[in-house]
Amino acid sequence: MSAAGSAPASRRVALVTGGTRGIGFGCARALAAARFDLALVGVRSEAEAGEPLGELRAAGAEVLYVQVDIGDDDAADRIVAAVRGRFGRLDVLVNNAGVAPKERRDILEATRESFDRLVRINTRGPYFLTQAAARFMMEAMTDGPRPCIVFVTSISATTASINRGDYCISKAGLSMAARLWAVRLAEAGIPVYEVRPGIIRTDMTAKVAAKYEELFEAGLALQKRWGTPEDVGRAVAMLARGDLPYSTGAVIMVDGGVAVPRL
């Protein structure tokens, strides 16, 4: 870090929410390998997240950790202020943090409490973090590589699961948020993308692993395997590097062919 507290000019800065576990950690590892410094957001304490943070620092990234619930009303301002104070710039925002329902329930039995929790964290939080981050990006923009924003959603944005309707609705809303921000930020030269994972092996899917194993064997995906956080991370790093500069608003499927219509 320079004497002024900013990252060296040769190092770009990526902010990844939920970046110390699961898909978010896969994204953070890929971005560290692509020579990004990192600002990571999570609800665990920094001590609890020590192992993944240590791995990323050992890979050469300067890492800032911000402990905050993305769904809190002041989360966006706190996160962007922390990034501004540490790095003085923001080149990439990866909206990854999200939660599943604590209990899967048929939509006839679903609760308002679960619905409000998922929309608050999965949709409202990233929407307003993008607002704050985009303002900062435009303010700090230089003649160098363009900043970009990535929304990590889910095939549940378009695939109905009646035992977790709240999750599907929250991800469908997030998908529309990605499209809205792509339209709004095009004039500022900031591309916005959606990365839409399929069935990814993480802590979130561990409880229903047996179900998905059976579905894979039955032909759920064209590629008969689980997706990995590394699969998603590769896609995010590609976008962060600027490899698809003429594709703002694009949806990048990382699902092994689950969403391909078949007869």
* pLDDT for res 66: 98
Taken in order of first residue, the domains within the chain and their CATH numbers are 12-254 (3.40.50.720)
* pLDDT for res 7: 44
* pLDDT for res 10: 63
* pLDDT for res 8: 46
Asked if 167 is an active-site residue, the reply is: yes
* pLDDT for res 206: 80
Provide the Cα torsion 150, 153, 159, 161; round to 10°.
-170
* pLDDT for res 144: 83
- Nearest-CA neighbor of 19 among 52, 46, 47? 52
The span from the CA of 171 to the CA of 154, in Å, is 6
Q: Side-chain half-sphere of 174: how many Cα atoms within 13 Å?
A: 37
* pLDDT for res 3: 37
Q: Which among 65, 167, 193, 212 is annotated as catalytic?
A: 167
Interhelix angle 112-119/165-185, rounded to 10 degrees, is: 30
Q: What is the per-residue burial (b if ≥16 Cβ within 10 Å, else e) of 60-70?
A: ebbbbbbebbb
* pLDDT for res 141: 84
pLDDT tens track, the chain, 263 positions: 333 444 445 699 999 999 999 999 999 999 999 999 999 999 999 999 999 999 999 999 999 999 999 999 999 999 999 999 999 999 999 999 999 999 999 999 999 999 999 999 999 999 999 999 999 999 988 888 899 999 999 999 999 999 999 999 999 999 999 999 999 999 999 999 999 999 999 888 888 888 889 989 999 999 999 999 999 999 999 999 999 999 999 999 999 999 999 98
